[in-house]
Structure 1
């Protein structure tokens, strides 16, 4: 039986995701068109994490009860969305990296930069594990059978951690002078926090009797132990 949380919060999550992406585009595109390389950094990362990755994760939540051809088609759609997310995230990282090179600044010196690097590595690992988990590609069959459900579980877990850490990274950037201030900026930040909360609430539910996040996170040990088989 599907979790009641997913259908209830699906539309609010989509609405928040689109609204936040449109808002950052309206704020950053004028500067980007003026030739400011930095503006592409928040724009691409918001599109990647809050836009495409949010929808990609929710697509995975929706198709978990599916079986057969409809599931394969849904997984393919999920993979396309997550590929778009990865491309945006990579371009966002390139924008800030190249911008710092042009200005002769050091990389990954601030807490925002260090956490952002960890977030990027998780965001890169998630689709790689996703590709390995897709049986149609024939990769997961190369692993011992007991490992296969754990690889799928790890893919889901890392994807969620990447999304959550992305929100943390965005909030860590707030003290930076380049960050916009004012009521609209504050509203956007609140929207990001609400979106993250909705995602976490949804992902702690159960889809088709399988947890998307370890429901008994009665501790890190329970989470790290991987899925249990009966």
Structure 2
């Protein structure tokens, strides 16, 4: 529940700070935060055995909810991207001149590719001829999702250093927002690595009856 509180608190603070509707730019941080830190985060934690709000539901139902939330996340993210692109056009400013802008574009493109991968995973019959095992597809999708949320986190951290945000949040408030973002990132990382990355433990081989007889014979001699 702490992680969900962090997601809602972070999103709520950004919306309150941006005050959507006060300007065209205000819709950029609003839509992007809702897309990446609320919808995408909640879509990922749907499968978490410790953080999911619907842990007892069937996995097929969770998968559908995950898909719907990711679709809504991508719509909001594309909307936020179009807003900032149009706002710079109106003000005759160059595009992607900052690290935040460049990483934001990379993150959006990666998220779009990740969404396509999710569709292929759901409708895996379309790529049956590729001879890729379903379990491998799930691993690839989860690993790519971890990379996507890592890019999201880096992009938002860069946004925290922007002139706009440092002008409205300083000192303890800034560090508090940074801590909330860290909580979200660590939760996603822990969930995906625990659920999908292979275990490094090597299981001991069981002793067969033949091996037991051989050891017994040598001992008798």
TM-score normalised by L of structure 2: 0.78
1:215 Cα offset (Å): 6.0
Whether 2:58 is the aligned partner of 1:70: answer: yes
1:111 Cα offset (Å): 1.3
Q: Which one of the candidate residues 24, 38, 41 is aligned to 1:51?
A: 38
1:118 Cα offset (Å): 0.9
Whether 2:13 is the aligned partner of 1:23: answer: yes
1:203 Cα offset (Å): 2.2
Alpha carbons 2:15, 2:29 under 8 Å: kept: no
Name stretches of at least 5 consecutive residues in structure 1 with no aligned partner: 1-10, 217-230
Whether 2:192 is the aligned partner of 1:203: answer: yes
Render the CA deviation track for 1:185-228: whole Å, top value 9, x for unaligned. Answer: 3311221122212221232213xxxx1x4666xxxxxxxxxxxx
1:93 Cα offset (Å): 0.8
Render the CA deviation track for 1:99-122: whole Å, top value 9, x for unaligned. Answer: 111111111121111111111111
Partner of 1:33, secondary structure, is coil
Which structure has the larger Rg? 2
Partner of 1:106, secondary structure, is coil
Counterpart-to-counterpart distance in 2, 1:214 and 1:57: 19
Render the CA deviation track for 1:109-164: whole Å, top value 9, x for unaligned. Answer: 211111111111111111110010014x74243x4233544333222222221111
Counterpart-to-counterpart distance in 2, 1:109 and 1:74: 39
**Greater relative contact order: 1 or 2 (C-alpha under 8 angstroms, separation 6 or more)?**
1
Matches within 5 A, 1:36-185: 36-62=23-49, 70-135=58-123, 138-141=125-128, 143-146=129-132, 148-179=134-165, 180-182=168-170, 183-185=172-174
Change (3 A) 1:38 1:153: same
TM-score normalised by L of structure 1: 0.75
Aligned length: 192
Counterpart-to-counterpart distance in 2, 1:76 and 1:46: 22
Counterpart-to-counterpart distance in 2, 1:124 and 1:17: 22
Counterpart-to-counterpart distance in 1, 2:91 and 2:199: 46
Render the CA deviation track for 1:45-82: whole Å, top value 9, x for unaligned. Answer: 1111110111111113359xx9xx93222211110011
Counterpart-to-counterpart distance in 1, 2:91 and 2:160: 21
Counterpart-to-counterpart distance in 2, 1:15 and 1:122: 27
